[in-house]
Amino acid sequence: MASRRHQRTALTVTAALLTLTAAVGCGAVDKAMDCVRTADAIATSVNSLQQAVSSASDDPTQASEALDRIDQDIKDLGDTTDDADLSKAVDGLRAGVTNVRDALDKGDTTPDLTPVTDAATEIGKVCTP
């Protein structure tokens, strides 16, 4: 399911970028492309996190590594935007990642990923012009 969502998001973003390129200047397109690339990276990292959590008993480090990638993506996205809606979505993602990391540290092998996936979806929406 997450893979289909990721594919739909990527297709939507690509179509929107083609429209955006014709409608706005290069600076705005570059900024939008940065947002889209980072949103795509976040979607990929969230998918990796979901897979890692489902097999956490086999290799608990995978979930930590996926969370680290999401943290880096959040930092990259925060460096490229000043949009209030995007900042709110990034804050939600950051809080979700912190909660999942805390749950895993406490031994929870099935942490609630809903806040992470919801925030990642919102970032995808905000980054789609």
Model pTM? 0.69
Angle made by CA atoms 106, 107, 109, in degrees to the nearest 5: 130
Structural contact between residues 100 and 113, judged by C-beta atoms closer than 8 angstroms: yes
User: Given CA atoms 38, 101, 2, 62 in this order, what sign does their dihedral have?
Assistant: positive
pLDDT digits (tens, 9 = 90+) for 41-96: 888 888 888 888 887 667 778 888 888 888 888 887 766 667 788 888 888 888 99
